[in-house]
Structure 1
Amino acid sequence: MDYIIKNIKIVDKRKTLKGDLWIKDGIIKKISNHIDAGDKSVINGKGLTLMPSFIDLHVHLRDPGYLYKEDLYTGQRAALKGGFTHICAMANTNPVCDNKKTMEYILNKHKKNNHCNLTQISSITKGLQGKELIDLEEMLKYTKLFSDDGVNVDNEELFEEVLKLSKEMYFTILTHCEPEAEVIKRDLELLENTEGNLHICHISLKKSLNLIKKYKDKGINFTCEVTPHHLFHWNDKYRVNPSFGKKEDVNAMIKGIKEGYIDIIATDHAPHSEEDKLKGSPGISGIEVAFSKVYTVFKENNISLNKLSEMMSYNPSRILELEEALVEEGKRADLVLVDLNQSYSVDSSTFISKGKNTPFNGRRVWGKVMMTIRDGEIVYKD
């Protein structure tokens, strides 16, 4: 495709400017105050903002095994609607993604869909049982991300071993911490001794953030994430892991973002059927409205759109060792066009995701994804 998006505000981690952008053969060809369209197709982006598309390190696609909750097709289409062109799917499928056969089933099915880019995460232990390590050498042929998300690796000696291996074999562990602060403390104490590669999932408590500050201030290298729903909401018994915090916890997360202690925002998109949710399954289906929830919180707390782009695009691209998610000439045209002035009410009946489970129906949010572009192709349009 060969086209120009005109009259836009362009925002990424490093800059804010106004002008036109030319996309040709999947690449950002030119950025300028004015680009002569000639015979090229034109999209008038007046009043809209163009950013790097979003990257999500933490989603649940439920495929294989739970296709009534979600599948690779609906999950990826939902991601595109939310402005995401790269997602990382957790391993708690059925069967668990802990072996070559299951991994290749997922990746082959993904290639047939090919809607957005997918990193499939492998479990750390066989069957998520926390007892025996998987064949790391075999699974490293497919991924560099490993997680027993949904459960902990409670065996301290085993977790210490896998941290050491993560440094030796060059992969990253995404750790699920329940009870949150207690397991974060354990993991960071082990990390200090092993110098492994660690990413802490979905923090929600002030005391967790205090631990993260302590160890980052000591120079220990690791990353961490917060979800949109843990920034957007508090004091609710709606079942989600970890549970919603108090207002003081949310305030701490916002301060942690401003101070640079929290690296990324990841959705923990967790679709469930209505029946499973009534039975107590934890989680929220939220990838389609993630940007809106985050932007609403940032707008209310005077946090810049540049910081949002850093946390939803740039830092995730660095963790995954992708091309830096910036709007620059010569880079891949993975972009999202948003209307920051549009406000709407969350309505899960309009979700592409099979999961309609959210406590946010009727809540007003700011900022709407109008278009998602992957490799220069328009893959979603509002």
Structure 2
Amino acid sequence: MNLLIKNVNVIDATRDMHADVMIENGIIKEVGQNIRSEYESIDAKGLTLLPSFVDMHTHLRTPGYEYKEDLESGQRAALKGGFTTLCAMANTNPVCDNEDVMEFINEKVKNLNLCNVVQISSVTKNLDGVETVDFDKMIKYTKLFSDDGKTIENEDIMRKALKLSKDMNFKVLTHCDSEEEIVRRDLEILEDVGGNLHICHISLKSTLDTIREFKDKNIKFTCEVTPHHIFKSNIDYKVNPSFATTEDVGALIQGIKEGYIDIIGTDHAPHSMEDKKNNAPGISNIEVAFSMVYRVFKENDISINKLSEMMSYNPARILNLKCGLIKEGYVADLVLVDLNKKYKIDTSKFISKGKNNPFDGYEVCGEVKMTIKGGAILYDNR
């Protein structure tokens, strides 16, 4: 796809400038002043162009739980939120622990032709924590493995997974209950055997202290925080991990400022109203994740460049994708936003089947106006 975006504020992890951006065959061809072209032109005066967002932690619920979300509703919700790449967790029914389920999902994603979906495999068969999946077979489909939704309690299983992640070049995304204790255990195993570890959705000051300890020892791993765990504290709403204290939230924000937290992962977890009434943990947030994070960053004097680093550049780099920057030669996965727009979250307008969000009516900052994937406009809210 060919496109020329004119008069726009261009911001990514490395730059902040006023420019034109020319896209040719889905790739960023030129970023500069007064670019002339015969391509379709968008006048984006007053708006900001960011690299689109990359979510390393989301739940698309297919197969088996399509009443909560399906691949189309989840991807269209993501596009509304400015996301073009989604890493979908394996806690489906049947569990994504074999070739048949992986092929079923990939075929549906291909036919929809919306987002770039990276399907995650479970680490253990049926998420039971007892027997590992056939990594030799599953590595043909994915380089991400996680039992998210359940903690790998068996230390030998985690040790095996991390060792193989080094030998076979894949990444283990760990879900940790009890949080600080399991994070420390996993980091001690990592320090011992090596490997590629990503720690999901941290929420506690004590966990951050452990992460700081190991990063300061130059142990290589990455970690994430969700939008909701930095947005509010002490909320009586069922998510996993739970909403934490004001002190914890303050520590997480400080950890972002100091660079100890690498990415924002939404942990978008849509549920039906009935399931939520039955205490199912999770929040539907992918459509408002950027706006929630931007409000927090503005209130805490954290730059929009840092937001772009954590929501676009860092996850793209972890996944070895050539996106996440607005730079010549990069894939034209972009999002056009109005940074001055304030609005109230309205869950009744969610595209996602999941309306489960405790922040209905809360004011947030920054509205997605357009989402572009490979130069093609897939969401337009101008």
User: TM-score if structure 1 supplies the norm length?
Assistant: 0.98
**Deviations 1:89-119 (Å, cap 9, x if unpaired)?**
0000000000001111100111111100010
CA deviation digits over 1:51-92, x for unaligned, max 9? 111000000000000000001111111111110110000000
CA contact (8 A) 2:323 2:332 kept: no
1:20 Cα deviation (Å)?
A: 1.1
Shift of 1:26: 1.0
2:230 corresponds to: 231
What is aligned with 1:73? 72
| Amino acid in the other structure paired with 2:16 | T
Cross-structure match for 2:90: 91
Letter in 1 for 2:31: I
Residue of structure 2 equivalent to 1:326: 325
Paired letter, 2:234: N
Percent identity at matched positions? 61
2:164 pairs with 1:165: yes
Alignment of 1:222-371 (within 5 A): 222-371=221-370
Counterpart of 2:243 in 1: which secondary structure? coil
Partner residue, 1:213: 212
Retained in 1: the 8 A contact 2:323–2:333?
Answer: no
Check the 8 A contact 2:51/2:323 in 1, yes or no.
no
Deviations 1:321-352 (A, max 9, x none): 11142101222111000000000000011111
> In 2, Cα distance between the equivalents of 1:19 and 1:169?
42
Aligned to 2:25: 25
Aligned-residue RMSD, C-alpha: 0.8
| Cα pair 2:323 2:331 within 8 Å, conserved | no
Q: Aligned partners of 2:198, 2:2: CA distance in 1, in Å?
A: 39
Q: Residue 56 of structure 1 aligns to a residue in which SS? A: strand
Mapped partners of 1:61, 1:243: distance in 2: 21
Q: Give the deviation of 1:167 after TM superposition.
A: 0.8
* Structure 2: 5+ residue stretches without partners: none
Which letter does structure 1 place at the counterpart of 2:289?
Answer: A
- 1:9 is matched with 9
Tell me if 1:380 matches 2:379. Answer: yes
Amino acid at match of 1:246: T
C-alpha distance in 2, partners of 1:101/1:213? Answer: 40
Q: Within 5 Å, give how 1:197-212 maps onto structure 2.
A: 197-212=196-211
Aligned mates of 1:342, 1:82 — CA distance in 2: 14
One-letter amino acid matched to 1:272: H
Deviation at 1:30, TM superposition (A): 1.6
Structure 1 segment 112-123 matched on structure 2, within 5 A: 112-123=111-122
- The aligned amino acid for 1:260 is G
